[in-house]
A and B are shown apart, each in its own frame.
Chain A
Amino acid sequence: MKGNYDAIVVGGGHNGLICAAYLAKAGKKVLVLEKRYVLGGAAVSEELYPGFTFSVASYVVSLFRPHIIRELELAKHGYEVIPMDCSLSPLPNGDSLARWGDAHKSRREISRFSQKDAEVYPEFSRIMTHMGKLAKEVIDHPAPDINSLKIKELANLLRLGKAFKDLGPDLLHMNIKLVTMSALDFLDQWFESEVLKAPMSVSGIIGTFQGVRSPGTAYVLLHHYMGQLDGAFRSWGFSKGGTGGISMACANAARSYGAEIKTNAPVHKVLIKNGQAYGVVLENGDEYTAKTIISNLDPNQTYLNLVGEKNLDDEIVKQVKRFKFRGSSGKVNLALDRVPEFSCRPGVGDHLRGDIAIAPSIDYLEKAFDEAKYGSFSKRPYINAVIPSLTDPTVAPPGKHILSCFVQYAPYNIKEGAENWPKYREAFGDAVVDTMAEYIPGLKDMILYRQVLTPWDIEKQMGLTEGNIFQGELSLEQLLFQRPISGYAKYKTSVPSLYMCGSGTHPGGGIMGASGELCAKTILQSRSI
């Protein structure tokens, strides 16, 4: 038995590392235990093929909280994000739409498809950025607790209420619309061209088991306008050295403040005595004790595996079990022997240095979703592809490149049963390569190596239940004071001394760091350690 830690963090994803860093910085003795050989969880870089560093799962950064970079001095520890400037959507007819950081350039492109849309586009961006500021207000604070009548909670609610009231009636209503409408219905209010609407609408469905016409997906559109790199709204970027670079920076920061980090250290159970968490036991039997245990794992893993049903109230078990995961996406990472050129825009230019969305029409996206709804992966999926090696040459050997494809829909629950995914893994990979090859002539001959991650693989490899990349669906009933369960949405769990700091807590998924930070601050404020 090894003890005397103030806190043990189970899971070395970026949130766990950030949580550890904040606690260590406050002078606490912290231990991080990661099951895999490498840190980062889903924000991880791995050299799967000699010379190629893949951002295996999560692949772009946008919502990382800027104050965390400052407070943990992450830049000093290797945090570097290179902005992406373009969003390209190739079309089957050989045409394409590119949207740029430069608004004028975007408008010129859009006007080829609709003059009206080109005129409305800047106004739309302006309003969305404005709305994004409000959303920021929500993600930078713990969720208000509607069950409590404490002065602090009421003040919290009032603060939010004021922020909403200050919006004025039009924006207030837009806010209601954003939370409840479908991404497509929302965009329909502004735009007419499908060439524009289809690639814009997909930001609403990433990581969810919803279609672009599913109510509630409009809200995620905002995320696109919340990305805050170096203070500039609406910019997305690549992390130097892959997204694992961010996790490494967080780990370095944590270590610099004195945190201890162990890899290859899978935790088996949280130790509980008299209803209170006091330590963990590893799969190899080693035990560590601490005043506080923090789980970076998702709610399902935390409550049902680490704690176990027998240590929980029936009501808690019931609520945890109804928390929805339903992973819907997969990943296909390709090592290529040259630059993949697109037939719509031959040559290597800035248009390849951003993200490339295969979302040519609304019907295309809906068909992809309908296949998934009834238990199959999409034969012609929505793909968000990036070629990070063009922006960050360190991730591939000279002249060679990485094509990283985020793919939707790949439902965890296929009709044959999730455990049969391995049988369909290569067929799924083929569907993705076939789809990409329609836009990249000769793609199949360029492939040196291919990694296919199905939701089943994501679950097995990263411990994300049902392969959900956000540690649980981002639907309204699973957000704010209900994430992950009502009454325990402020990083505390129903087990005293056990906290949660992963994306399964408010404000949710993506490489934001907010859950880790807010969890650490909650613990420090409670003065329990």
Chain B
Amino acid sequence: MNKSYDIIVIGGGHNGLTTATILAKKGMKVLLLEKNKFLGGIASGHEFIPGYRTTGLVHDTSGVRTSVLKQLGLEQFGLKIKNARPDAAILAKDGRGIFLPSDRNKAIEEITKISKDDGEAYRDYRIFIDEIGKFLFPLLNEIPPDLIQFGTKELFALGKKGLALKKLGKKTMTELLKVGPMSVADFLNERFETEFLKAGLLGPSIYASYTGPWSSYTTLNLLMWEVCAREHIVGGPQALVNALEKAAISAGVVIKLQSEVSSINVDKHGMVTGITLKDGAVENSPIVASSCTPQHTFLDLLAPNVIDYPLERSIQNYRSRGTTAKVNIALSNKVKFKFKSDDTIEYARTGNSIDEMEKAFDSVKYRKFSDHPILDIHVPSVSDPTVAPDGHSVLSILVHFAPYHFDAGWNKEQKDRLKDNVEDMLLDYIENSRDEIVGCEVLSPVDFEDQFNLTNGHIFHGEHAVDQLITRPIPYCARYDTPIKGLYLSGSGAHPGGGITCAPGFLAAERIIKHKD
């Protein structure tokens, strides 16, 4: 075979860049192909109105794995990491709010102002998170156990996990097993009394999911987010992408933009030989790592005769129903939240009450978007004034729930309706007036799919449902390699899942290295 590259990485999102760079640093000849004119995928920011930029389509970087960033040497390429989750505000419609500094003692102080009991409860809650983090965090940072070739070695590995769980101590272990399968509503109702605090805390457990706060197992999602929210990136995801790009180039990765792959090529022995681009060009390589969604990888990029029927069916059954839309707002002033008079709040989330959030989810079941959506707000202009003209602001808002499967269809009229909804909601929480809104951009799940090949517009490349974790996306591909020899999954559709983490990209690279050796 005419071997041009050691490996081809499909997709220049943050995971694809991570895989490519790690492997290039190991001395491999790497080609990275990106469909768009720019790198970063949904981690990239863009100018949505002349003079106003976002710093990422998704904006939560609190789960980024610093251990990976260190191995990539990103700090030497200008990346600034803060060793704490970002300060955040929880907003209530009545103008109240709680400021949650990353420093937990300060956060407890803030919560205590609203409710003394909740302050105490938050302390216990964070201690519980610390405890279970000892078990959960390592699990989310290593190649998952093998459940296919289930032999003595694997049993031993599982036994070790069991022991790690036992090491938490009887009380913590029992509590983890008790609350993990619970609904996050039950979990928080057992602990806290202030309704909008509960609503604010639970947000991350249902973002991009097909569940509401009353759904079972949502506590597990909350705990997973909590144990991973340890750091964040100054300048948002785009800053990460910039550093990743420099690191990739410096490591020798060949990056080709506007190069959409149309097929992954497989020879008659079922071995990967390379890819073909949309324009017909062929690139050869014995290894291909796809950071696209599992469905795009298996069902679009591979010829139908390459994968067998059970595999095809499992991939079709992999659930990734997008439920998130994005609204970017340009504002001709600083953003002033009603509950706090200064203008330094960069992250805020709404919810108001558990039932209101559940109702926001209900709409998805009837294939509508929510009239009272949950807003996950980032104001990038607070820490980076260059994203907007002097004194102006950008609000980057992830809107839950707005389903991909939408009866009315995502046309302009519906997008305008969503925009009006979000603006109305937003003005409940901020002092700014509607006149200060310079402009708005609405991105629907269908837009995500069109622009980034995200199947059903799902921002995590598939729901974080229990059966789609650990054995993510499906048992036969849960350890990054696939039944097709030479083909690896390296995107958010692989363990440990979506969000700006760099973890799947890194672990896929590790797996590839292990196989090479």
Question: CB distance A180 to B467 under 8 Å?
Answer: yes
Closest chain A residue, CB of each to CB of B165: A146
Question: CB distance B178 to A215 under 8 Å?
Answer: no
Q: CB-CB contacts of A173-191 with B at 8 A, as 1s and 0s?
A: 1001100110001001100
Question: CB distance B178 to A477 under 8 Å?
Answer: yes
Known interface pairs A173-B467, A176-B467, A216-B217. Does A477 touch B177 (Cβ–Cβ under 8 Å)?
Answer: yes
* B465 lies within 8 A of chain A by Cβ: yes
* B280 lies within 8 A of chain A by Cβ: no
Distance between B406 CB and nearest chain A CB, rounded to angstroms: 15
Q: Give the docked Cα–Cα distance between A180 and B180 (Å).
A: 11
Contacts of A176 in B (CB 8 A): 466-467, 471
Closest chain A residue, CB of each to CB of B216: A216
* B181 lies within 8 A of chain A by Cβ: yes
Question: CB distance A177 to B467 under 8 Å?
Answer: yes
Q: Give the docked Cα–Cα distance between A79 and B310 (Å).
A: 45
B-side interface residues, number (CB < 8 Å): 36
Q: Which among B4-12, B258-266, B358-366, B434-442 touches the partner chain? A: B358-366
Pick the residue among B150, B362, B471 that contacts A165 (CB under 8 A): B150
Contacts of A188 in B (CB 8 A): 317
How extensive is the interface on chain A, given as a class?
20 to 34
* B186 lies within 8 A of chain A by Cβ: yes
Question: CB distance A477 to B474 under 8 Å?
Answer: no
Q: CB-CB contacts of A133-163 with B at 8 A, as 1s and 0s?
A: 0000000000000110000000000000000
* B179 lies within 8 A of chain A by Cβ: yes
Pick the residue among B186, B210, B317, B465 that contacts A189 (CB under 8 A): B317
Pick the residue among A172, A177, A189, A215 that contacts B216 (CB under 8 A): A215
Distance between A305 CB and nearest chain B CB, rounded to angstroms: 22
Question: CB distance A324 to B186 under 8 Å?
Answer: yes
Pick the residue among B190, B215, B474 that contacts A215 (CB under 8 A): B215
Q: CB-CB contacts of B271-285 with A at 8 A, as 1s and 0s?
A: 000000000000000
Distance between A400 CB and nearest chain B CB, rounded to angstroms: 41
* B451 lies within 8 A of chain A by Cβ: no
Looking at B178, B216, B362, which has the most chain A CB atoms within 10 Å of its CB? B216
Q: Which among A288-296, A341-349, A366-374, A460-468 touches the partner chain? A: A366-374
* A252 lies within 8 A of chain B by Cβ: no
Distance between A476 CB and nearest chain B CB, rounded to angstroms: 4
Question: CB distance A374 to B467 under 8 Å?
Answer: no
Contacts of A181 in B (CB 8 A): 465, 467
Question: CB distance B174 to A147 under 8 Å?
Answer: yes
* B148 lies within 8 A of chain A by Cβ: yes
* A494 lies within 8 A of chain B by Cβ: no
Question: CB distance A366 to B366 under 8 Å?
Answer: yes
Q: Give the docked Cα–Cα distance between A439 and B200 (Å).
A: 45
Q: CB-CB contacts of B351-362 with A at 8 A, as 1s and 0s?
A: 000010011001
* B168 lies within 8 A of chain A by Cβ: no
* A363 lies within 8 A of chain B by Cβ: yes
* A214 lies within 8 A of chain B by Cβ: yes
Contacts of A477 in B (CB 8 A): 177-182
Q: Give the docked Cα–Cα distance between A185 and B319 (Å).
A: 9
* B201 lies within 8 A of chain A by Cβ: no
Question: CB distance A214 to B471 under 8 Å?
Answer: no
Contacts of A193 in B (CB 8 A): none
Closest chain B residue, CB of each to CB of A190: B317
Known interface pairs A322-B190, A475-B216, A482-B177. Does A215 touch B147 (Cβ–Cβ under 8 Å)?
Answer: no
Closest chain A residue, CB of each to CB of B474: A173
Question: CB distance A180 to B466 under 8 Å?
Answer: yes
Known interface pairs A180-B217, A181-B467. Does A169 touch B147 (Cβ–Cβ under 8 Å)?
Answer: yes
Question: CB distance B216 to A210 under 8 Å?
Answer: yes
Contacts of A230 in B (CB 8 A): none
Distance between A131 CB and nearest chain B CB, rounded to angstroms: 14
Distance between B355 CB and nearest chain A CB, rounded to angstroms: 7
Contacts of B21 in A (CB 8 A): none
Contacts of A99 in B (CB 8 A): none
* A486 lies within 8 A of chain B by Cβ: yes
* B214 lies within 8 A of chain A by Cβ: yes
Question: CB distance A173 to B147 under 8 Å?
Answer: yes
* A223 lies within 8 A of chain B by Cβ: no
* B133 lies within 8 A of chain A by Cβ: no
Contacts of A476 in B (CB 8 A): 181, 216
* A313 lies within 8 A of chain B by Cβ: no
Question: CB distance A486 to B150 under 8 Å?
Answer: no
* B170 lies within 8 A of chain A by Cβ: yes
Q: Give the docked Cα–Cα distance between A523 and B110 (Å).
A: 53
Question: CB distance B211 to A215 under 8 Å?
Answer: yes
Q: Give the docked Cα–Cα distance between A408 and B174 (Å).
A: 33
Question: CB distance B362 to A216 under 8 Å?
Answer: no
Pick the residue among B178, B186, B310, B358 that contacts A170 (CB under 8 A): B310
Question: CB distance A172 to B147 under 8 Å?
Answer: yes
Contacts of B177 in A (CB 8 A): 146, 477, 482, 486
Question: CB distance B150 to A180 under 8 Å?
Answer: no
Q: Give the docked Cα–Cα distance between A216 and B220 (Å).
A: 13
* B475 lies within 8 A of chain A by Cβ: yes
Q: Give the docked Cα–Cα distance between A93 and B179 (Å).
A: 44
Q: CB-CB contacts of B305-330 with A at 8 A, as 1s and 0s?
A: 00000100100010100000000000
Closest chain A residue, CB of each to CB of B150: A165
Q: CB-CB contacts of B116-159 with A at 8 A, as 1s and 0s?
A: 00000000000000000000000000000001101000000000
Contacts of A29 in B (CB 8 A): none
Contacts of B190 in A (CB 8 A): 322
Q: Give the docked Cα–Cα distance between A188 and B365 (Å).
A: 14
Closest chain A residue, CB of each to CB of B219: A477
Contacts of A234 in B (CB 8 A): none
Pick the residue among B150, B186, B216, B362 that contacts A370 (CB under 8 A): B362
Distance between A157 CB and nearest chain B CB, rounded to angstroms: 10
Contacts of B366 in A (CB 8 A): 363, 366
Q: Give the docked Cα–Cα distance between A263 and B216 (Å).
A: 40
Question: CB distance A169 to B179 under 8 Å?
Answer: no
Contacts of A214 in B (CB 8 A): 214-216
* A25 lies within 8 A of chain B by Cβ: no
Q: Give the docked Cα–Cα distance between A355 and B98 (Å).
A: 53
Question: CB distance B471 to A173 under 8 Å?
Answer: yes
Distance between A250 CB and nearest chain B CB, rounded to angstroms: 33
Closest chain B residue, CB of each to CB of A175: B467
Question: CB distance B317 to A180 under 8 Å?
Answer: no
Looking at B180, B182, B210, B313, which has the most chain A CB atoms within 10 Å of its CB? B182
Pick the residue among B178, B319, B474 that contacts A486 (CB under 8 A): B178
Known interface pairs A180-B465, A477-B181. Does A215 touch B217 (Cβ–Cβ under 8 Å)?
Answer: yes
Q: Give the docked Cα–Cα distance between A369 and B365 (Å).
A: 12
Closest chain B residue, CB of each to CB of A185: B319
Question: CB distance A213 to B365 under 8 Å?
Answer: yes
Distance between A148 CB and nearest chain B CB, rounded to angstroms: 11
Contacts of B466 in A (CB 8 A): 176, 180, 215
Distance between B179 CB and nearest chain A CB, rounded to angstroms: 7
Q: CB-CB contacts of A295-329 with B at 8 A, as 1s and 0s?
A: 00000000000000000000000000010100000
Question: CB distance B174 to A173 under 8 Å?
Answer: no
Closest chain A residue, CB of each to CB of B174: A486
The 4 A-B pairs at the shortest CB distance, nearest first, are namely A180-B466, A476-B181, A216-B216, A189-B317
Known A169-B147, A177-B467; 13 more pairs at CB < 8 Å: A146-B177, A169-B148, A173-B474, A185-B465, A215-B216, A215-B466, A363-B365, A366-B365, A366-B366, A373-B355, A475-B181, A476-B216, A477-B177
25 A-B Cβ contacts within 8 A?
A169-B147, A169-B150, A169-B475, A169-B476, A173-B467, A173-B474, A176-B471, A180-B467, A185-B465, A189-B313, A210-B216, A214-B214, A215-B217, A216-B181, A216-B216, A363-B365, A373-B355, A476-B181, A477-B177, A477-B178, A477-B179, A477-B180, A477-B181, A477-B182, A482-B178
A residues near B (Cβ < 8 Å) are: 146-147, 165, 169-170, 172-173, 176-177, 180-181, 185, 188-189, 210, 213-216, 322, 324, 363, 366, 370, 373-374, 475-477, 482, 486-487
B residues near A (Cβ < 8 Å) are: 147-148, 150, 170, 174, 177-182, 186, 190, 210-211, 214-217, 310, 313, 317, 319, 355, 358-359, 362, 365-366, 465-467, 471, 474-476
